[in-house]
Each structure stands twice: as structure tokens, then as C-alpha cells.
Amino acid sequence: MPTLLTYVLLPFAWLYAGIMAMRNWLYDRGWKPTTRFGTVPVLSVGNLRVGGTGKTPHVAWLVQELRQQGQQPAILSRGYGRRTNGFRLGSATETAVTLGDEPWQQFTHFGGQVPVAVCENRLTGLHELLRQQPGITVVVLDDAYQHRRVQPDFSVLLTEQQRLFYHDYVLPAGRLRESRAGAARADVVVVTKCDPALPVLEQQQITQRIRRYSRPHVPVFFSTYAYGVPVPLAAGELLEQEFSAEIVLLTGIAQPGPLREYLREAGYQIVYHAEFADHHAFTAEEIAALKTHYEPGRRIFTTQKDAARLLDPSLHTEMAGLAVFYIPIAVEFLADGANRLRQLLPAAIQPQAVV
């Protein structure tokens, strides 16, 4: 429900929405340049809302599907939160600090078998990525829904079940980066982080509301998270060792609520939750403070994205000897959503004529 502050900030939201609408209009009319890459199709994954909607695991799902269909995909991201500039291509010498936590997570997730690059300028990044990796057959742009200089061949819009874009307002009254009308650019909408038992009737109602803003008959899918077995951050740390159900939780993500709920339902007792902002760069002092809640028999649980930042060399001394585990997550679609989306990909990655 809107708060009093929401209504106070609405005039500023209207101003910001107007600026974004003018920007989009200029791109739509061709007055601002946009580029389509003819022989290498580009898929875009993003959202209308600021904050985590599950882009990283959905990008991973798409990349895995593309690989299974015989493609050689690559991932291009802005590399938010990194301490470097310009184009960088993932390699064993990179870290979350130089590449960004999410790109580094993708690079390690695929074992270096999928090229992962970062660049603030996506157009420059695409050109350089294709120059250095000529065997690429498709590029997935991570968090690029508002990046209009590159015209994707297929655009995936994500929106959380608990924070559906049609209930939200444009910044600063809400969390939308642009107006709800931006959904009209999507080729597919995925409602993420859903209750696995979300009733079909409620799915239909959500779909109807989304289609007030999207193009007619755009497919709407529903996905949820599947949490995996805790993975030790340090080699040699075995789950078979004696640990209690008491855990310390460490997160630096936008929406830690679903993970916290999962851990409680799985029987863990969260004795302390050190909660930081999304992409937070952990410090040795913060790890030292966390250790005051750690004792033998307890484990520190974190996310896979946060784990990438915990491997920073500046934290090695404080992290030594701690039983730290990350919880991997994977995307699962409700009903036949996975097969339906899978069937759309061959047409989506057909080479298009350059406009």
C-alpha cells in the first residue's frame, strides 16, 4: 500500500518518469541511435525495478539452455561494484573486485567455459567481446533492460511476485527505473521468486495485470528458486563434520528474505544475521565483528554472490579457520514454463538483418 511519503514524492516521480519517457521516445523514433548486431543475436535480461529480481540465476538458466541447444553463448554485464573501468574479460586472474561479484559468479559457475565480460558501455563491450571471442554465437546482456543503445533480438523482463512492477511507482516515490509502460518492450515476462504452490487462478490474474502494460499475447512465465546443498567456501571443509543447527547468516544482496525463510524452514536456527546492502564490499573489520557471533559447531552461511566477495585477498586473515558455506540457487519454472521458454529460444537467436 502507498504511504504518505509515496504521495509526497509523486511529483518528483512524475518528473523522472517524464524524462525517461522522452528518452525512450527518442530511441523509439530513431532520433537517438540504437544498434542491432546482425549475425550475432543479443538477448537482454533485466527489470523495471531497482533491486534484486533474480537476474543472475535467470541469466545462468538461459546460458545453460543455449549451450544445450548447441550455441556458444557469452555474457556481457556492466560489472556493477567493481573497482576497475573499461572492458575486462573474465579469466583466472580476475576477481570479484576487478570483474564485479555477479560476473565473477557467472564465470566460476560455468568453470570458465562461458566467456564473461564487463564494460560500462555495452556497445563498446559487444564489439570488443566479439573481437576477442570470434566463436561466440549469441550474447546475453545482464541487467540491460534500460540500455537502449543496443537493440536486443529478444528481451526478457523479470518482476518479483512479491514486488510486481504494476504495484510500484517510479523513483523516488517507488523503486521503478521507468514507468510501467516500459514493459511493452519485453518479448517475455518472467514472474520470479514465486511460491512453488502459486495457484493457477492467481497466475492468470497476474498475467492479466501484466498484459495491461506489455504487448498483447506476450508469454508470461512463473519461476521459483531451488536451493541446493550448502557448499564449503574453503577446500576441505566437509558437511559431514559435526555442526549444530545454529548458523550465522551473512548477506550483501537486495532481497535476503527468501533465503532466510528457506533456511528456517530447512531447520536451521539463525542466531545472527549480518545484513548489508546489495554488492557490499566486505571489510576485515566487518568479518571480525561477525566472528563475535561465531563459535565452534556453528557455521556461517552466505549466498554464492557474497561468497565471491569473501574470497578477496584482504579478507584472508580474518576468514581463516571459519566454517563458511554458500547456498547455491537454481531457477525452476512452474508448470510447463521451462519447456515453453525453451521452445522460444531457437527463433529468438536467429540472425536478424542489421537496422
DSSP strand E in 48-150: where? 73-77, 88-89, 116-118, 138-142
Rounded mean pLDDT, 202-229: 96
**236 and 298 share a domain?**
yes
Residue 120 lies in a domain: no
Q: Which residue has the cell 493457477?
A: 200
Model pLDDT for residues 292-339, shown as the tens digit of each residue: 999 888 999 999 989 989 988 889 999 988 999 999 999 999 999 999
Sheet of 269-275: strand order equals: 231-232, 324-327, 299-303, 246-251, 269-275
In a domain, 10, yes or no: yes
Pairwise CA distance, residues 220 & 191, whole Å: 7
Average of per-residue pLDDT across 58-81: 95
- Whole-structure pTM value: 0.91
Inside any domain, residue 283:
yes
Residues 283 and 222 in one domain: no
Same domain, 144 and 42: yes
- Same-domain check for residues 166 and 283: no
| Domain identity same for 54 and 141 | yes
Task: Please check whether residue 123 lies inside any domain of the structure.
Answer: no
Is it the case that residue 351 has pLDDT exceeding 80? no
pLDDT-based confidence at residue 268 (cuts at 50, 70, 90): very high
Taking 50 as the threshold, does the pLDDT of residue 264 lie above it?
A: yes
**154 and 245, same domain (yes or no):** no
Does residue 218 sit in the same domain as residue 277?
A: no
Give the residue numbers spanning the domain of 265: 229-327
User: Does 160 reside within a domain?
Assistant: yes
Cα angle: 95, vertex 99, 104; to 5 degrees:
65
**Is 121 part of a structural domain of the chain?**
no
Grade residue 2 by pLDDT with cuts at 50, 70 and 90.
confident
| Three-state SS at 241 | coil
Residue 52: is its pLDDT beyond 80?
no
Same structural domain, 213 and 265: no
C-alpha cell at 31: 532520433
Decide if 53 is inside a domain.
yes
Same domain, 189 and 280: no
Per-residue pLDDT band for 355 (boundaries 50, 70, 90) equals very low
* 243 band by pLDDT with thresholds 50, 70 and 90: confident
Q: Is residue 240 part of a domain?
A: yes
- Over 90: is that where the pLDDT of 35 sits? no
Mean pLDDT of 89-104: 92
Same domain, yes or no, for 184 and 286?
no
Q: What is the mean pLDDT of the chain?
A: 91
SS3 content of the chain, % helix, strand, coil (to 5): 35, 20, 45
CATH number of the domain enclosing 258: 3.40.50
How many angstroms separate the CA atoms of 308 and 252, rounded? Answer: 11
Higher pLDDT, 113 or 54: 113
Q: What is the distance, to the nearest Å, from the Cα of residue 66 to the centroid of all Cα atoms in its chain?
A: 18
pLDDT beyond 50 at 242:
yes
Q: What is the pLDDT of residues 12-31, one digit of tens each?
A: 889 999 999 999 999 888 88
Residue 240 has pLDDT above 80, yes or no: no
Average pLDDT over residues 147-172: 94
pLDDT number for residue 312 = 87
Q: Is the peptide bond before 73 cis (omega within 30 degrees of 0)?
A: no
Q: Per the structure, how many domains does the chain have?
A: 2
- Same domain, residue pair 219 and 300: no
CA dist., res. 89 & res. 69, Å (int): 24
| Residue 340: predicted pLDDT | 96
What is residue 349's predicted lDDT score, i.e. its pLDDT? 85
Are 240 and 315 members of one domain? yes
DSSP labels, 173-239 = TSSBSS-GGGGGG-SEEEEES--TT--HHHHHHHHHHHTTTS-TT--EEEEEEEE---EESSTT--T
